[in-house]
Amino acid sequence: MPLDATPAALVDSFGRTVTYLRLSVTDRCDLRCTYCMAEKMTFLPKRDVLSLEELARLGDIFIRRGVRKLRLTGGEPLVRPDVMDLFRDLSRHLKSGALDELTLTTNGTQLARHAQTLAACGVRRVNVSLDTLDADRFRELTRIGNISRVFAGIDAALGAGLKVKLNAVASLGAFEAEVDDLIRFAHARGMDLSLIEEMPLGDTGLDRSQSVLSLRDLEAELAQRWTLTPSRRNSGGPARYVQVAQTGGQLGFISPMSCNFCALCNRVRVSCTGRLYTCMGDEGSIDLRTPLRTSEQATVEAIRAALRTKPERHRFDISRMASPAVARHMSALGG
Give strand ranges (E) for the chain.
20-24, 69-73, 101-106, 125-129, 163-170, 192-197, 228-230, 240-244, 250-254, 267-270, 275-277, 286-287
Q: Which residues are annotated as a binding site for GTP?
A: 22, 71, 105, 165, 267-269
Q: Is 120 left (phi over 0), alpha (psi -120 to 50) or beta?
A: alpha
Q: Parallel, antiparallel, or unpaired: how do β-strands 101-106 and 69-73 relate?
A: parallel
H and E: helices and strands count for the chain: 10, 12
Of 225, 229, 224, which Cα lies nearest the Cα of 251? 229
Rounded Cα–Cα distance for residues 95 and 153 (Å): 26
Tell me how many degrees the CA angle 279-282-285 measures, rounded to the nearest 5: 70
Q: How far apart are the two ends of the chain, measured CA to CA in Å?
A: 33
Q: Are 296 and 61 in contact (CB under 8 A)?
A: yes
Torsion (CA) 260, 261, 267, 271 in degrees, nearest 10: -20
Rounded Cα–Cα distance for residues 65 and 6 (Å): 8
Q: Which residues are annotated as a binding site?
A: 22, 29, 33, 35-36, 71, 75, 105, 129, 165, 199, 262, 265, 267-269, 279
Rounded Cα–Cα distance for residues 29 and 331 (Å): 8
Q: Which residues are annotated as a binding site for S-adenosyl-L-methionine?
A: 35, 75, 129, 199
DSSP 184: H
Max CA pair span of the chain: 58
Q: Which residues are annotated as a binding site for [4Fe-4S] cluster?
A: 29, 33, 36, 262, 265, 279
